[in-house]
Amino acid sequence: MITGGTGSFGKMFIGAALERMDPGRLIIFSRDELKQYELRAQFPGEDRLRFFIGDVRDRDRLRRAMDGVDIVVHAAALKQVDTAEYNPFECIQTNILGAQNVIDASIDSGVSRVVALSTDKASSPVNLYGASKLCADKLFVAGNHYASHSHTRLSVVRYGNVIGSRGSVVPFFKEVGRTGTVPITDTRMTRFWITLDEAVELVTMALSDMEGGELYVPKIPSMRIVDLAEAIAPEAELKVIGIRPGEKLHEEMISVDDARRTVEYDNYYVIRPVLADWMEKDTPVKGTPVPEGFAYSSATNDRWLTVDDLRRLVEKSP
């Protein structure tokens, strides 16, 4: 089952899951009947799909939808930074209390594995959206304590801006670029960048690797906002408008404090839980501890996308 399954990630994950995981059933749980209707039309004749209208704020509906479910991917969220700043109660209802409902329903229903989607804005958050997702991250990790008597295990994946996702800056830049002017909040601004395919790969990897409580962070490139504007609208003039409410100059996925519990692998990092009494005491720590003082920031990343790289990615995006 995937919550928020009609979103950009959900649609990409559904196709990958049907092809690679061969599920007996794949449940799409979301609020919008029109989006479910449109998504159903993309998979004609696919009898493994089940569509549940529901909201993660409704614990009883979640429990009903999870009956007989083995795996849950939690992608439902209110994710617009400025919207959360002006509608904080709604953000908390969905992103925090909704996360708690998913955890409780998963444990009560005997779900085996749960992976929740997080965001780079949850590391050292400065806006409500990031703070709400940090709370959700901690709830999913701590949920393993509540589930320690059962076989339910919960983990988190955290990544940056997704090329081609709904609400992405890419379609906005394409639209305003036609006017001859592109608004830029700050010419120094940087962001992490990941494709939908890479996000799906991260989640499927976590589902097969997790023991419970891990927070997976992929090694992905950074990009400069001015380079993205150049890639999308090379003829347009840049207009600096200032940083918006709740916005950072640079994003971060692992803070210096979190780095003390972080181990490195070839293609990703894992932030290990503070306490993990659900794990076997003699389970060896895999991976290599990161060095003292390490932080994973979009400003100090060792991988960068050029204007040409960005142009190619934008051309391939939906």
Q: Which pair of structure tokens corresponds to residue 163?
A: 């090329």
* Separation CA 206–CA 149 (nearest Å): 22
How far apart, in whole angstroms, are the C-alpha atoms of residue 162 and residue 195? 5
User: With contact defined as beta carbons under 8 Å apart, do 29 and 54 qualify?
Assistant: yes
Structure token digits, residue 11: 């649609």
Measure the CA dihedral 46/47/53/59, to 10°.
Answer: -120
| Residues composing the chain | 318
121 is known as an active-site residue = yes
How wide is the angle at C-alpha 258 spanned by C-alphas 90 and 294, nearest 5°? Answer: 130
In order, the DSSP letters of 1-30 are -EETTTSHHHHHHHHHHHHHT--S-EEEEE
Nearest C-alpha neighbor of 253 from the set 117, 189, 160: 160
Residues 6+ apart with CB under 8 A from 107: 143, 146, 147, 150, 152
Integer Cα distance of 275 and 190 in angstroms? 33
Q: Please tell me which residue in 11, 121, 133, 248 is annotated as part of the active site.
A: 121
- Crossing angle, helix 8-20 and helix 196-209, to 10 degrees? 60
| Catalytic residue set | 121
